[in-house]
Structure 1
């Protein structure tokens, strides 16, 4: 991503005063991008304040580690990447501010890669960021940090290579998705789909599609520690490394992983299925789980993609649901399964994926529920693997599937509901889905 999203900057404009720069730093630090991250806000305020001092030279990593993160003055930067990891996230938050609520700012700041001292530049008057550019900013996946990392062993390179490949794949899919959206034909031939989605979006001007963060999943598979909701909301990812007894190489792996926002292919394709509905729905926006906010959860209608292992926001709704996507607490890398909390006579209590050389069977859970404040709706899509999540999105956008489900419910208008799907594939064939159980809540909608 280019500096400040390639916002035009006019040469020869007057130099911003110290007070102008100070006020800009304060506005950025007080924005929604930093509201729930005290550590990143302190980082910004410290380097911003130092940059205002006349003649101040470059701000060094060791200084920030000591002043902002409480490290000892002699701590070993080759073993502790905390400043570099947080700097990557800080740059992304600053860019997101100027692409969204700070889009009106005529003065912009950035922290160039390879250094930590903010610079300030004038934006050319009358050239606000385009809405599409702002939307893209929310989904760009960083693929590297310019600060060189210490030499890595072969296992470390494998993890970093996986991160980079996933990030590149998602960036390519984003470009394909934008083309797909513009070519979409809307609701043609899908009256049941139209009925459901228009009712879901009623009264809303914007709908958020919140993508999961596979960085969380990877970290849990390395550390065998669950990430708490508080650490996720505060972007305190480094706690994962501090809680586990890991080798220096594995600690650096974790720090590198959290320098990227990763989305699995099936999860992104699930979002793509829904984005194809754009022409007849309110504005649909892709959001990252790690930058979503509790205010948005309370007030908006939105779609959560991925299980709570990769999208911790899912945990807020788990207590309301009969079908729960669960994991083996002893083995973070194990396959997930679906727990049926109140099974009916013809249903199983647990649905476990099956995989062999010739066939694969997985499960996905769709929930259509009210949002926490009761002012809108939420859809959750979660599968025992990312392909099962994609199939769940396909169910909600398929006229055949939704018409059959509506007939099963014997209703004119869809109530809130849960659906459990079994996804299966024989070797060499495509996936297909079968509804194996459901719950309807007609009094809740």
Structure 2
């Protein structure tokens, strides 16, 4: 066992004893240097969190990047639900030229509801849209790509054709709710329609391929309603800019089209099938089928699709 070293009193007394005044403190310059280094590290961390750790890429990023660009404004146009109400009462469709001129309001015999009378002035002064359309507009506006673009939401009734020529445009709703989609009917294979007398939506397949139906009609099966949506990405009016259409045979069908590009698996598989890359999205239209209960469309499946030539 090793012996402990024991200091005798004379030796202990000879050891230097430091007082508080004699202790060495860091120089002020070193303190400032340490503080500056800490601030620099915090700044680097914040920059990394903001820019160095971006959101994960999704299959729809190429689509959003072609729509939301810094050099061209983006116009989002929700549906006109007052127009939908008008057509439900009159049981007749309103064409785009009638909608633009407002002549449809003067031609109809509008009914009375109780003591209230729905006049043309009432429809002309009320602008409504659905909460689902507003949620989609907000969802689009929160996309990272949208932060780089000038994005505006405008009511369909006050829109003009020149607005579509100078902007990339996003139209929400079928032709019965948003007549502006009628400008693209001749360029699409899947034509979304609504029979106001029968209160039934359907999609006309203009050029059926093998195994496809010529018409896809809404139907009820086992208590669930089968509806259809069409998502179309194509050149804008007269080839100016880009256009994205969210259409449906009803609210559930439109919601299925609205949810489709945000789905992680379904849209990824679709993008691969049409040859999309990280930086380019081909023009397309895709027909979707959804089963809804109470107007909610939990999921949709791809029925078929077409590529659109520029």
Q: Does 1:258 align with 2:112?
A: no
What are the within-5 Å matches in structure 2 for residues 186-225 of structure 1?
188-202=55-69, 204-225=71-92
Q: Secondary structure at the match of 2:60?
A: helix
Larger Rg: 2
CA distance in 2, matches of 1:390, 1:257: 25
CA distance in 1, matches of 2:129, 2:294: 25
Q: Secondary structure at the match of 2:286?
A: strand
* Residue 286 of structure 1, aligned match among 153, 161, 173: 153
What are the within-5 Å matches in structure 2 for residues 122-201 of structure 1?
188-201=55-68
* Aligned counterpart, 2:272: 407
* Aligned counterpart, 2:219: 354
Compared with structure 1, are the counterparts of its residues 405 and 217 closer, same or farther at alpha carbon in structure 2 (3 Å cutoff)?
Answer: same
* Residue 390 of structure 1, aligned match among 255, 264, 283: 255
* Aligned counterpart, 2:201: 336
Q: Report the Cα offset of residue 400 of structure 1.
A: 2.5
* Aligned counterpart, 2:302: 435
Compared with structure 1, are the counterparts of its residues 424 and 247 closer, same or farther at alpha carbon in structure 2 (3 Å cutoff)?
Answer: closer
Q: Report the Cα offset of residue 347 of structure 1.
A: 1.1
Q: Secondary structure at the match of 1:327?
A: strand
CA distance in 2, matches of 1:304, 1:429: 21
Instruction: Tell me the C-alpha RMSD between the 2 structures.
Output: 2.7
Q: Report the Cα offset of residue 435 of structure 1.
A: 0.7
CA distance in 2, matches of 1:374, 1:220: 31
Question: 1:171-198, CA deviations, whole angstroms, 9 ceiling, x for partnerless residues?
Answer: xxxxxxxxxxxxxxx9722342222210
Compared with structure 1, are the counterparts of its residues 357 and 254 closer, same or farther at alpha carbon in structure 2 (3 Å cutoff)?
Answer: farther
Compared with structure 1, are the counterparts of its residues 367 and 195 closer, same or farther at alpha carbon in structure 2 (3 Å cutoff)?
Answer: same
* Residue 139 of structure 2, aligned match among 260, 270, 273: 273
Higher strand share: 2
> Is the CA contact 1:299–1:371 (under 8 Å) kept in the aligned structure 2?
no
Q: Which runs of 5+ in 2 are unaligned?
A: 1-52
CA distance in 2, matches of 1:369, 1:379: 7
> Is the CA contact 2:110–2:119 (under 8 Å) kept in the aligned structure 1?
no
Compared with structure 1, are the counterparts of its residues 264 and 429 closer, same or farther at alpha carbon in structure 2 (3 Å cutoff)?
Answer: closer
> Is the CA contact 1:204–1:300 (under 8 Å) kept in the aligned structure 2?
no
What are the within-5 Å matches in structure 2 for residues 286-305 of structure 1?
286-305=153-172
CA distance in 2, matches of 1:260, 1:282: 30
Compared with structure 1, are the counterparts of its residues 383 and 228 closer, same or farther at alpha carbon in structure 2 (3 Å cutoff)?
Answer: closer
Aligned pairs, number: 254
CA distance in 2, matches of 1:354, 1:215: 25
> Is the CA contact 1:201–1:377 (under 8 Å) kept in the aligned structure 2?
no
Q: TM (normalized to structure 2)?
A: 0.73
CA distance in 2, matches of 1:429, 1:375: 35
Q: Secondary structure at the match of 1:399?
A: coil
Q: Report the Cα offset of residue 264 of structure 1.
A: 2.1
* Residue 283 of structure 2, aligned match among 416, 427, 434: 416
Q: Secondary structure at the match of 2:118?
A: helix
* Residue 234 of structure 2, aligned match among 369, 385, 389: 369
Compared with structure 1, are the counterparts of its residues 392 and 245 closer, same or farther at alpha carbon in structure 2 (3 Å cutoff)?
Answer: closer
